[in-house]
Structure 1
Amino acid sequence: MSTYTRNNVLSMTVLAIALATAGCSDRSTTPQDTASTAPAAPAADHGALDAAPADAQTGADEHAAHATAGVPALPATPWASDAPLREGMRRMHQAVVTLGHAENGHLDATQTTAAAQQVQDAANYMITNCKLAPEPDAALHGVLATLMTGAAAIKGDPANTTPVASMRDAVALYPRMFEDAAWKTDTAPAE
């Protein structure tokens, strides 16, 4: 990634986080009634980012930069998923479920911050390991941006769980965007 692109990505990330922490990221529309075009994707080989933490953060910044792009358009037919995407989204789902407990006042600040960190860890795992075609990769950027921006806001103020609702909506987009036959079974609540 060029220095120019990195600087633009960093600027967009700062803007996205500032908007989220200022309460400007209100997502009052549902994924079903929002239709926007997914941003154009750079090369979708996130494996090229290496596994080093700094490189994973660069990838995270790239995904977070798409936060202002809005909810991606849903494909006519779900895109193929790869194993890292499926694993990462299961981790993401569990972290967002845990943050739901914070919404109800069942977690303290340390637990809430830890759950928000799990969201960021799941995103970094996907950024480092997923290899998707450009169009689904670009759409995934929008989903991950919402999740990562929400996690950053919650880590900044664990008492404010407002971002959890938009994070839950972002996770709900995943099975509508990507093929994942075991999603409902793997993410069903325990009885």
Structure 2
Amino acid sequence: MKPGRSLAALATALALSLAAPGLTTAQTAGHEGHSASSLELVLNNGAKWQGDENMVKGMSAIRGAMAANLEAIHGGSLTPEAARTLAADVQTQVDFMIENCKLDPAVDEQFHGVLAEMAVGTSALEAGEIEPGAVTIVQALNAYGEHFEHPDWQALE
């Protein structure tokens, strides 16, 4: 992983979070007693947002990467090297979704909040802050599942 990657992820998070004005706060539940996220998302007039195939593909890959590492994360045995690899895998998918975005503006505005949280989580993982980084990503994944249509989506714990 390139040293500038953390700075790029942080800049992405800031840019994405500033690009979504006017949202109401929808706090996501804390992950196993951890503090709640202040990820700001709303439903589409009470319904989940409809995304595109790139969003579904990228989010499925991120969920899969996190699920594959949850036991080590929960057990405190995920190494800093493995955390950096996980961060790179997540960031690759975030980059893919940004580069291939075909979302309607209203959906895109909501999805930016999820991507911003992913960037915050990857930055923490890269910095060796494994638990906070993983919790941030899991909370973003779970908020995504509550606000976006995604066939067979299952929350992570």
Q: Please name the residue that 1:73 is paired with.
A: 42
In 2, the alpha carbon distance for the partners of 1:97 and 1:145 equals: 20
> 2:51 is paired with a residue of what secondary structure?
coil
Q: Which runs of 5+ in 1 are unaligned?
A: 1-9, 17-28, 34-68
Contact 2:28–2:39 (CA<8 Å) still a contact in 1? no
Paired residue type of 1:31: T
Residues in 2 aligned to 1:89 and 1:131: alpha-carbon distance in whole angstroms? 15
- One-letter code of the match for 1:128? E
Q: Which residue, 69, 83, 87 being the options, matches 2:53? A: 83
What is the CA–CA distance in structure 2 between the aligned matches of 1:149 and 1:32, rounded to whole Å? 17
Q: Is residue 2:119 matched to residue 1:148? A: yes
User: For residues 91 and 55 of structure 2, what CA distance do their matches in structure 1 show?
Assistant: 14
2:27·2:40 contact (CA, 8 Å) conserved in 1?
A: no
| Correspondence list, 1:12-161, <5 A | 13=11, 16=14, 30-31=27-28, 70-75=39-44, 76-100=46-70, 101-157=72-128, 159-161=129-131
Normalised to the residue count of structure 2, the TM-score between the two structures is: 0.68
- How far is the alpha carbon of 1:103 from its aligned partner? 4.0
Count of residues in correspondence between the two structures: 128
Q: Which structure: larger Rg?
A: 1
Displacement, 1:73?
A: 2.1
Sort the Cα spacing of 1:30 and 1:103 in 2 relative to 1 into closer, same or farther, 3 A: farther
Cα separation, 2, equivalents of 1:108 and 1:138: 35
Describe the shift of the 1:112–1:160 C-alpha distance in structure 2 as closer, same or farther (beyond 3 A): closer
The alignment's C-alpha RMSD in Å is: 2.9
Q: Percent of aligned positions with the same letter in both sequences?
A: 24
Q: What is the TM-score normalised by the length of structure 1?
A: 0.57
Pair 1:163 & 2:136 matched: no
- Specify every segment of 5 or more residues in structure 2 that has no aligned partner in the other structure, as ranges: 1-7, 15-25, 31-37
Distance 2:27 2:11 in 1: 23
